[in-house]
Homo-oligomer: A and B are copies of this chain.
Amino acid sequence: MNFKIAVIPGDGIGPEIVGTSLKVLDKIAEKYDHVFDYTEVLAGGAAIDACDTPLPQETVDICLASDAVLLGALGGPKWDNVPGDKRPEAGLLALRKSLGLYANLRPAILFDELKASCPLKPEIIGNGLDIMVVRELTGGIYFGEKGRDGENAAWDIMKYTRPEVLRIARKAFDIAMKRNKKVTNVDKANVLEVSRFWRSCVEEVAKDYPEVELNHLYVDNAAMQLVINPKQFDVIVTGNLFGDILSDEASMITGSIGMLPSASMADGKFGMFEPIHGSAPDIANQNKANPIATIVSVAMMLRYSLDLTKEANAIDAAVQKTLAQGYRTGDIFSDGMTLVGTIEMGQKIIENL
């Protein structure tokens, strides 16, 4: 089959990890007889440098004309002093909004081979962790009105509408149905009006999923529970800001942040896929970055946007095998393992395909 993929290498280690991941995808194309048409486009710092805007309209157009988008990582200290609305992050937010990517799926999985890098004690993680954070991505305080009262104050509005909450809640319950049928809603309903509203919408959706167990946690409590008892979680659904904080915390407790992919989905099958980690400018262009998070993001893309389940599974299996063979990039290295660079890690995974 023939697929159009928009590719945003981005900044820092982005181009390296994306380059390596596309080699893996090339191998899938060859082996399973598909054609992946890549169109490389600019966003973030690279776009600021080239076109003085973090998100050229051309990028949006090409993404929308594609079956899926693969993104490396955006941003870096180079653009720290650019004004707020022109920063790489502004480009990322605009990209999410203009592509309608309202559902951010962030799996926090502990890779068996990497238990040694988990910061939590073994008795807490038990036989592993597998949490799916479903974060609302195009609403809330990220996209609310904002402003200043002269020199004296500044403000942002955290707002959610009914359709926004209903659709993300549906997404979370649909995902839970394919997993362990448990949804934890996280909000701050004891203080925020928007959270009380959010919670009532989630409860409305829950009625359509009688098999799924729903519980509610306040965000402060959720931040604690992730540390003390992460095994209680299956699917977490939450708003944009709380999801930003909790998904990062969840990925960190796995100790596997260089390994974790994410999907940002629109209605239907269209989505953007990227590693959870950042652009790590300190190790850029040194063949040191761990490409695995991006490679498994490619697997997520095959599974969620292109319906190529077999091919996605093949990538995941090749990654597992490569880890089992003892190959490690610097970030996940431990005694007795074989240290490899970005390119070599990609090659080993391709050999295992």
Residues of A that sit less than 8 Å from B by CB: 75, 84, 87, 89, 93, 118-121, 124, 141-142, 144, 146-149, 151-162, 188, 190-194, 196-198, 219-221, 223-224, 226-228, 241, 244-249, 251-253, 257
Contacts and interface: CB of A to CB of B under 8 A. Distances in A.
Given A227-B249, A245-B219, A249-B223, A155 B120 contact: no
A161 to B, nearest CB: 4
Given A153-B161, A154-B159, A157-B155, A193 B228 contact: no
A162 B153 CA distance: 6
A244 B222 CA distance: 11
Contact of A119 (B93, B120, B190, B193): B120
A129 to B, nearest CB: 13
Contacts of A198: 154
Contacts of A249: 223-224, 226-227, 249
Nearest to A252: B224
Given A219-B244, A221-B248, 7 more contacts: A75-B190, A93-B191, A119-B121, A120-B227, A121-B121, A148-B193, A154-B193
A119 B197 CA distance: 34
A332 to B, nearest CB: 13
B188 A155 contact: no
B87 A190 contact: yes
A233 B96 CA distance: 33
A199 B219 CA distance: 23
Q: How many copies does the complex hold?
A: 2
| Residue with the greatest number of chain B CB neighbours at <10 A, chosen from A93, A124, A153, A245 | A245
Contacts of A247: 220
29 contacts: A84-B193, A89-B191, A119-B124, A120-B120, A120-B227, A121-B121, A144-B155, A146-B192, A146-B194, A147-B193, A152-B162, A153-B161, A153-B197, A154-B193, A154-B196, A155-B160, A155-B193, A156-B192, A188-B241, A188-B244, A219-B244, A223-B223, A223-B246, A223-B249, A223-B252, A224-B252, A224-B257, A226-B249, A227-B252
Secondary structure at the A interface, as helix, strand, loop or mixed, is helix
A220 B244 contact: yes
A156 B194 contact: yes
Contact of A155 (B75, B159, B162, B241): B159
Given A197-B153, A246-B223, A158 B158 contact: yes
A244 B195 CA distance: 15
B223 A245 contact: yes
A219 to B, nearest CB: 6
A70 to B, nearest CB: 22
**Which 9 A-B pairs give the minimum distances between C-beta atoms?**
A154-B197, A155-B159, A146-B193, A224-B252, A220-B248, A223-B249, A153-B161, A89-B190, A154-B194
A155 to B, nearest CB: 4
A208 B283 CA distance: 35
Nearest to A84: B196
A68 to B, nearest CB: 25
Given A146-B192, A227-B252, A245-B223, A155 B158 contact: yes
A154 B146 contact: no
Contacts of A228: 119, 252
Contacts of A257: 224
Contact of A191 (B142, B159, B219, B252): B142
